[in-house]
Amino acid sequence: MANVLLVEDEVNIASFIKRGLNEFGHNVSVAYDGENGWNLAQTGQFDFLILDIIMPKLNGLDLCKQFRQKFGYQVPVIMLTALGTTDDIVRGLDAGADDYLVKPFSFQELEARIKALQRRTVSASDVLIELKCADLVLNCYTHKAHRGTEDIDLTVKEYRLLEYLLSHQGVAISRLTLLRDVWDKNFDTNTNIVDVYVNYLRVKIDKDFPRKLVHTVVGVGYMMADQ
């Protein structure tokens, strides 16, 4: 059970989602615009945020950014969007969302995403405090990274991807495995979301350093290794 803040401006959709979440045992508070949603989010009483993107007064992307800046990354956020292109998905994840759902979606899918993010939150205390590869260090509690003397700012999904790669050093990991384990979903195999985020990581952790840590494994996917 979780205390959920749902911010959705379409009353019928909000009612539908709230009813379904209540049936799964969750307590749900609803805001119908981003400004009211932000006011409720600041009370700090929620275990989960579900935010529509297109809303009056304050859109979901800006609400998510503000929430992350003030409260950090302990509370999971799922974005709801009618837009399903790679660019739209990346914008949501870059705003600080942990996951997203493209409308229309089934309740079973929403509940599965919530459970997956709850499991990840509960198991966070079991991970190592730091993961390292060469001079790259990732703090699993603060979600901060640095390489040498350079601090590296990471979005939520960049952090998840880097954490996964560092936890499987020396192993060639397929794109489908990354989609399943980092994004918690089965994508159309034609998506390039993994390549997009690996490139983001490379710019941040490899571009300005002579020793490259993220390697392409032809015909397979990617590998983190000090080689």
Q: pLDDT per residue over 124-135, tens digit each? A: 445 557 889 999
Q: Considering only CA atoms, which of 61, 56, 108 is closest in space to residue 80?
A: 61
Q: pLDDT per residue over 127-161, tens digit each? A: 557 889 999 999 877 788 999 889 998 888 898 89
* Selected residue with higher pLDDT from 181 and 226: 226
CA quadruple 95, 96, 99, 101: dihedral, nearest 10: -30
Q: Token pair for residue 36?
A: 């009211």
Per-residue pLDDT for 190 more than 50? yes
CB 4 within 8 A of CB 25: no
Beta bridge partners of 151: 146
Architecture of domain 127-224: Orthogonal Bundle (1.10)
Q: Considering only CA atoms, which of 129, 99, 103, 126 is closest in space to residue 115?
A: 99
Tell me 16's DSSP state: H
Q: Where in the chain is the domain with CATH 3.40.50.2300?
A: 3-124
Which of 99-103, 117-121, 145-149 comes out lowest in average pLDDT? 117-121
Q: Where in the chain is the domain with CATH 1.10.10.10?
A: 127-224
CATH class of 3-124: alpha beta
Average pLDDT over the chain, rounded to an integer: 85
Rg (CA), the chain: 18
Per-residue pLDDT for 104 more than 90? no
